[in-house]
Every structure is written in C-alpha cells, then in structure tokens.
Structure 1
Amino acid sequence: MKNTIAERIFDFLKDFPPFDVLNTAQLLEISTNIKVKYLEKGTVVFNQNEQPHFHFYIVKDGAIGLFRSMDDDEIFVDICDEGDIFGLRPLIQNDHYLMSAKATEESILYAIPVEILKEIIEVNDKVHKYIIASFSSNIKTPYANTKALFGNIDTLDSNNINLTDFQTAQYSKNPVTCSKNTSIQEAAQIMSAKRVGSILIIEEKNSIGIITDKDLRLKVATGIIPISEKVSTIMSSPVITVSKNITTAEAQIAMLKHKITHLCITKDGTPHSELIGIMSEHDIVVLQGNNPSGLIKELKRAKDITAVKYIREKTSNLLKSYMRQNIPIAFVAKIISEITDTITLKVIEFSLNEMETEPPVKFGWLALGSQGRKEQLLITDQDNALIFENVAAEDYNVTKNYFLKLAQKINNKLHLVGYENCPADMMASNPKWCLCLDEWKQQFDSWITQPSEKAIMMCTIFFDFNLVYGDKKLVNKLAKSIFKSIDSYEIFLNFLGKNALINPPPLGFFRQFLVEDNGENKDQFDLKARALMPLIDAARLLTLSHQLKNKNNTIERFEALILKEPQNKDLYFSCIDAFKILLRYRTNQGIKHNDSGRYIELNTLTKPEKLKLKGCFKPIKDIQELLNVRYNLSQML
C-alpha cells in the first residue's frame, strides 16, 4: 500500500466488525475507495425519510446521534461512536432512512460505497451473516453471538446480549382500519385525522391488506392511481401476521425477510385469526431507544444532572419492562446495577468538575449495601462511603475537608437524580464515613475485634462495599487488612453467625408466615428481614470464612461456595434459586406498590403465590442450621 491515507483507514477498519473478517485484498479495496468526512457539531448526515445515499458510514472519531421524528418531536434513539456502523439498512433494502443522523460533537466519518460491500457479501459468508444478524438485533458484534440470539435465555451471557431483543415487542392495540370499499381519499383522511402512518383493510375481523404512507407517495401522489379509487387497488396483500408474543428480534427478522415495515398481530398469529393489533418499525425503534447500551451511552454524554435524572427514570421503565417479560432476575440485576454505577460515575464526574482544584490525593467512592452487592433493582436510599490515601498529619484536615465537600456534592446530586438520602446518614458526606486508608483499617479492626451488636450491624453494611470510582489499590489494601483482622480474631465469625440467625425461619410451628407484631407494618410479612437477609448474611459469612475476595454479590458468593464445598452444593444451589425467586418477588411488589417492596400484605397473595414463597423458606432453614452447627451458635444464642 502506497496510499498513506488508505493505510491509516486499513489499520482502523481491521479492528472492527465486519471488516475484521475480511481478507487483506477485500479490506484494501474498501480502504482505497472510502471518502473521509469531517463534521462539525450539529451537522446532519441524513434525514428521516430521505432517500438512501450511495454510502454507509462508520464513525472514526466523535459521535453521531440517531433520532426519530414523531409528531413534531425528535426522539433520541442511539449514539454511534468509534467503530459503529450506521446508514446501512436502507441501502441493502433500497428503502428510505427511518431515522435522522447528526453529529453530536465534532466527528470524522468514513463513507463506504455500498456496492463494494455488496460484492464482498456475495463471496464472504461471515460478512453476510454479520449483516443479517445486525439487522435482526442491536448487538454490536452479532456474528459472534448469532447462536445465542435465538438460544435459551437462561444460558445467555449477559456481557454479550442486548436483552431488548428477547422482550415481547410492543405494538398498537388499536389499529386504524377501513373496509376494502373505502376510497383512497377517505383512507388518507382517516390516517391524517388519526395521525398514523398505516391503515389496515378489514374483512370479517380479518386483515386482508394494508396501506402505508409509502403506498400513498409512490402510487397516488405520483398520479399513477386516482385518489377516488378503492383502497383495494393499492393495498399490499396478503399481510404478514404474527402472534402477540413475538420478540423484538423475531419481529425485526420477519420485517427484513418480507421487506415490510408493519406486522399484523392476530389472536393465534395466523391470517385467519381475529386482528388484535399492529406493529411497526417505529415501535421497535422506540423500544431499542430504551435499551441498556443506549441508556449508558446517553449517560456518558449527559451534560447536566437533569439529563441524568431523565435517564434514571427511563431505567425504572426498563426494569418494569424486564420484569413483565420475565427476564432472568440475575441478568436484570446486572443490567440495572451497571446503569446505576454509570449514573454514580457521571454524578462524580460532574461534582469533580465543580471543585476548584484537583483531588489532593487518590481516593475511592464505595457503594455499600444492596448497591455494593449489585442487587439494587428498585430505587432506594443511598449507602456510600469514601476512602482516600494517607497523608501527613499537617495535611489531614485540609485533605478531609476537600473530600467532605466533594462527597456533599455527590450525595446532593444523587438525591436530585432520585436516590433518597440515607435516614441513618450512612453516606460519604458524613465525616464518620469519609476516612483515609489507615482510619478505615482501624475502623474495621475495631468492629471485628470488639464485636458489639452495633459493630456487627455495621459490618453487615460495610463488608459489602464495592468500588464504583477511584483507586483500586486503596480498596485492595483495605480488603487485605480486613482479612488479617478476621484471622487474628476468628471468634468474630461466630458473632457474625449469631447475627445471621437473628431472624428465625420465616414459617411458624403451624407453617404460618411469621409477620410483624406491631408498628406501622403490623401483620405484614417482612420479605427483606425474614427471607432475603438470612440468605445474604449466610453467603457473606461463609465467603469470609474461606477468605474469598472480590465476591460481594449473593448469587456469586453461593456459586463460589459450591466450588469450595461441593458436599453442600445442593443446599447452595437451592439457596441461589430461593434468592432469585425472593428478589424477583420483592421487585415486583415494589413496582406494584411504588415502594421498596419490603413488606407484603399476605391477604393480597394468591394460594400459588404463598406456596411459591413457602418453597423458598426451606433453604433458609437449612442454611441457618448449617451455620448453627458449623459455628456452634447454640451456645451463643
């Protein structure tokens, strides 16, 4: 290669799919035919409904926002950044652009002639599979996971999937319809009045055809068909019908396969079944605009706290959607936790930018409790702490005051986003929980070697810390110190075990739920204290006893214990299953009642629901018996 620019393009493309599977000759041909485009912020690449260009695009630098226009509103759908391809689907399908694309910051694009890619697709099966998979999913490297795309969701790797693809696709339950004898003019007037882009032609409750805006443009506005003709003369027929349970991925595949933009939803999915709804490409676009990767991209590019709050609210909607679709709770927890951590990171970034100077020393922001365990699905109050490097005595006050001021900004912003302040002030803005490394070591050592009731309670909160931002070495040194303190005072584990048995198994002698005796939650069942916490406490204690580091999540702790104690694997597997069921149940309760989901009115439960909950209680009883025997706790209770 003598062309220096082509060489640079070649070196860039070879690291991104589908170019990374091309041979040298194919990639060189593309590289030498690429046009380089520099865009200032706000520059439009193409507009919605515009005819496709002769090129598709890959982002070299910067970011391109994709937007969908609807009812005079511009809806953000996604951000394309380095290595992302966009504008390809209309070229392959010979259709107009479904979205607008414009630079959200200074950007450099590579414009790639589609004809060259089409030639390569014909001879390169891997590229062909990539294009098909990328149209049917929102996965950035779909060819690497095409099998998983249609596999059993319980076996999916959450690091490589977009759960949006496995949700039941959204559709309109009130499709606009007319009879086959309706004139085109009347149908167009109905579509305009209802502000929709399609109308279904119905005969005896069955859909026999469809007219879209595209039909009106190509067949009527051009003068080919008079507007006075019946709709049957221009309708597309037969329609493609699917069932209401079709997933987003399946819907996209069906549209691509038949080169259509609408699907008819019928009772049993067949053409001869009653029409119950219609699904459009727009419905899928809206759903994908609320997917995890899209939300995280939005967060990373948010310019103010209002935008972060908006995304946090969208995350709550995403959670509701996942719960409705019965997505595996372990995956849901990972996704929501990742978004929560990204929200926290953005808030810390904003707060650091407001500080007059850079941090005087390295520090770390620690999430505690359920966020630290990556089990915070519902929006609850804050639990966090801050650790900073040791400093000379004369610099201590100035350094601590700096981090207290920073922590106050972070806590305030998290509150604005929607995370309530901790009623017990268990937050980094509290001087008690904003400490240097040596102070934290001394604090944990004190709790461990002088295990009072309060000290044990603090351990159950702070032992689940997780570094969200900052210096990992500080946290590693702290963890090492904690295990050293436990080694020097092994009876501490017995005290921790005693605490794990505070709440007895959730069923009484007559297999009745143990409910609260008094207070505002009298006669309600405490799902957190009586069911979830015994499992959380047991997993924490047992992993500490094995000195298993970097294991904060309850499910991951039990999975690690299975490897350490294969003789107890059946018990630990049952604990995992029980924890998943209880976590899902609490989340659904919280969504239903718009609260923490902690307390349950038993009279609102059906008998099957009660039986399912009771089925989770045996592992709790068994794990508590194991702790009782292992740590000889009967002598301490």
Structure 2
Amino acid sequence: MEHYEQLKAWRKTEMGLVSLDHFQLNEFHDKLMKETVRIALKKVASEWGKPPAHFAFFVMGSAGRMEQSVWSDQDHGIVYHSATDDQDYFLKVGTEISKGLEEVGYAQCEGNVMASKALWCKSRDEWERQIIAWLEENDWESLRYFSTFFDSRVLVGDNELLFRLKELAFTKLEEEPFLYRRLYENVGFIKKGIGIFGQLLPEEKGQDAGTINLKQTIFFPYVNSLRLLALLEKITDASTLERFQRLPDHLSDMKAYQADFLKLLNYRLYYQKNAVSYQKVHLLQVNSLSSRERESLKAMMKKGRKLFKETKELIDQRCSL
C-alpha cells in the first residue's frame, strides 16, 4: 500500500476482527502506524532527500504503553542524532506523519504532543537539555511533559537514542530523589468514581451525563502507579503490562495487580467496541451495566486506588532513606 487512503480502508476492514483482543488490537495499531510512517518518510524523501541523520520516531500515551482502544489520538515525537541543525527536515517529517495518521484515522493531539511541533522534535543533545530542564523546573506542566515523554517507545528508527534519554532521566532522579515525590503529587488527583454508600458516581450534567470516564477514573491509578514504579526501579519499558512483569521480586505484592489491569483492558474493549469516535471511547454508560458488572467495575476501581496508595507509601519510604 502506497497511499493513506488505502491504509484507512485496511483499518476499516481489519479493526472489527481484532477489536476484542487487547494484544491483537495493539499489534494491528503498530502495523498500521508503521505503514503510515513509511509512506510519510517516502513522501518527504521525494521532496527533501533522505534523512540527514539517524533518528527515532517514538510514540507516547496509550500508543507508547500499547494500551490503545479501537479509537486513539496521536502522541509522538522525534529524536535525531545530529551535530548540525536538521530540525527543519525532521519537522517536515513530523508534519507529514501527523497528516498521514489523521487521514488514516488517528485524531491529532489536542495538546499538540506531536513530532510536527518543535517541543517534541529535537536533536539528541537538545532532548537531553529538555529532560533536565523539565525535572529541574519540576512544576505541574514540566512534570506532566516529562511523564508523557517517559511513556514512550520507538516505533521506527534507532532504539538506542530513546534508551539513552531515559537513562539520563534515571541518573537525574537518583541525584534528586525528592523529584519522585513531586512526580507523585503531579498525578495525585484521582477522579472519584464511588460514593459513600458504595454507588458508582457517573457524570451528572452535560452531554456525558450518565457515564463514567474509564480513563480518568479507573485506568490512571494503574498507569500512573506503574510509571512511578518504573522510574524507581529504572525500567525503560513503556507498556504498563511490561512494567508489571519487570518489577523486582521484592515488589511481588504490587506485581499481583497485573491480573486486575489486564482484566480492565479487556473489560474496556468489550464495553466500548461500538464507540464511534476517540471522544466517546473512554465513556461507559452506567445504566447499561448489570448489577454484577457494576460490582466488577467497582472492584477494579478499588484495586487501582489501593495500588496507587501503596506506590505513594513506597516513594515516601525511598525518599526518606
């Protein structure tokens, strides 16, 4: 396939076949995005020549963690190995990739976390300075950017470029352990999903009335906990499931939550298989659930909050040593 329109048709044909299996679905997303990048690189090369330096195109967010649902938006960046300023070329690449992904069916990121933007398209040296700056500033926005970056994996290109950036972050955190607490505080708010009488708390007003946002209410406690644990244990993997698997044996109690998270991933796919857009894919209609399904949802929600609490306690313990 040599055109974005062909990839869009392929997506439409294949998505229904893999939409209920978490692993097959995310493997398909990878194939689809890689083909989109291949076409984009070919388009840019035909006008601007071959890439002037080794580079890596990496994905972040749910794509970085391999947790995409049927619908997903774009979160990606570029790092290139260059002693000269080749940013103009790689911004062209990032812009073409963003355009291609949108045509194929991935909504552009509302927060502009895309390789078409200078903040997310830099040389290796510039990326090193950026990561240090984010951690040294350690305000809400800079730590949010850092956390977004850390949930990254290379989709196309040189894996070593991204690996070295994460190693730099580990070194900085080791030197300034108080940053672990700052990173925890940055994601400390969890949207309440269960009331004092044990009832689910859906949105009460607006166009989303009657729904619970699975991403904010249930996913984030697991995802944020495992990101923090990965930073503590110097785990470079971006996938939450892989982070669970790579936790050391002395954190076996936390590793046990992996079964709950995998159940949550499959739960989301089953109930959101008919979602028609990225905006709707995280919303679950509470009235559509049976009593048993509601209890299962609340159990996963409570487990996520418990994991998050245990992660905070571990960070407090480590930072006080």
Q: TM-score, normalised by structure 1?
A: 0.47
Alpha-carbon displacement from aligned partner over 1:114-151 (angstroms, at most 9, x marks no partner): xxxxxxxxxxxxxxxxxxxxxxxxxxxxxxxxxxxxxx
Residues of 2 paired with 1:332 and 1:607: CA distance? 30
Task: Report if aligned partners of 1:525, 1:600 keep a CA contact under 8 Å in 2.
Answer: yes
Q: From 421, 433, 442, give the equivalent of 2:120.
A: 433
How do 1:143-158 and structure 2 match up within 5 A?
A: none
The higher radius of gyration belongs to 1
Other-structure match for 1:569: 252
Matched position secondary structure for 1:332: helix
Matched position secondary structure for 2:274: helix
**Pairwise CA distance, 1:565:** 3.5
Q: From 589, 592, 597, give the equivalent of 2:274.
A: 592
Task: Report if aligned partners of 2:30, 2:155 keep a CA contact under 8 Å in 1.
Answer: no
Identity %: 24
Higher strand share goes to which structure?
1
Relative CO higher for 1 or 2, CA cutoff 8 Å, sep ≥ 6?
A: 2
Over 3 Å counting, the alpha-carbon distance change for 1:350 and 1:315 in structure 2 is farther
Residues of 2 paired with 1:305 and 1:432: CA distance? 26
How do 1:291-330 and structure 2 match up within 5 A?
A: 302-320=1-19, 323=20, 327=21, 329=22
Output the amino acid matched with 2:255: Y
Other-structure match for 2:143: 456
Residues of 2 paired with 1:338 and 1:571: CA distance? 28
How do 1:501-580 and structure 2 match up within 5 A?
A: 501-503=188-190, 506-516=193-203, 518-549=205-236, 551-561=237-247, 564-566=248-250, 568-573=251-256, 575-580=257-262
Q: From 582, 591, 608, give the equivalent of 2:292.
A: 608
Residues of 2 paired with 1:520 and 1:438: CA distance? 45
RMSD: 2.2
1:624 paired with 2:311, answer no
**Pairwise CA distance, 1:429:** 0.7
Higher helix share goes to which structure?
2
Output the amino acid matched with 1:361: A
How do 1:335-354 and structure 2 match up within 5 A?
A: 335-354=27-46
Residues of 1 paired with 2:295 and 2:195: CA distance? 15
Alpha-carbon displacement from aligned partner over 1:56-111 (angstroms, at most 9, x marks no partner): xxxxxxxxxxxxxxxxxxxxxxxxxxxxxxxxxxxxxxxxxxxxxxxxxxxxxxxx
Residues of 2 paired with 1:370 and 1:380: CA distance? 8
Over 3 Å counting, the alpha-carbon distance change for 1:489 and 1:344 in structure 2 is farther
1:414 paired with 2:123, answer no
Matched position secondary structure for 1:421: coil
Question: Which residues of structure 2 form unaligned runs of 5+?
Answer: none
Task: Report if aligned partners of 1:505, 1:621 keep a CA contact under 8 Å in 2.
Answer: no
Other-structure match for 2:79: 387
Residues of 2 paired with 1:388 and 1:526: CA distance? 37
Over 3 Å counting, the alpha-carbon distance change for 1:618 and 1:581 in structure 2 is same
Task: Report if aligned partners of 1:571, 1:622 keep a CA contact under 8 Å in 2.
Answer: no
Q: How many residues align?
A: 315
Residues of 1 paired with 2:164 and 2:39: CA distance? 26
Q: From 257, 260, 265, give the equivalent of 1:583.
A: 265
Over 3 Å counting, the alpha-carbon distance change for 1:309 and 1:514 in structure 2 is same
Output the amino acid matched with 2:263: I
Matched position secondary structure for 1:631: helix
Over 3 Å counting, the alpha-carbon distance change for 1:535 and 1:505 in structure 2 is farther
Deviating above 4 A after TM superposition, structure 1's stretches of 4 or more consecutive aligned residues are none
Residues of 2 paired with 1:492 and 1:519: CA distance? 38
Residues of 2 paired with 1:511 and 1:629: CA distance? 25
Matched position secondary structure for 1:313: helix
Matched position secondary structure for 2:114: coil
**Pairwise CA distance, 1:348:** 3.6
Q: From 67, 70, 86, give the equivalent of 1:378.
A: 70
Other-structure match for 1:491: 178
Question: Which residues of structure 1 form unaligned runs of 5+?
Answer: 1-301
Residues of 2 paired with 1:449 and 1:313: CA distance? 45
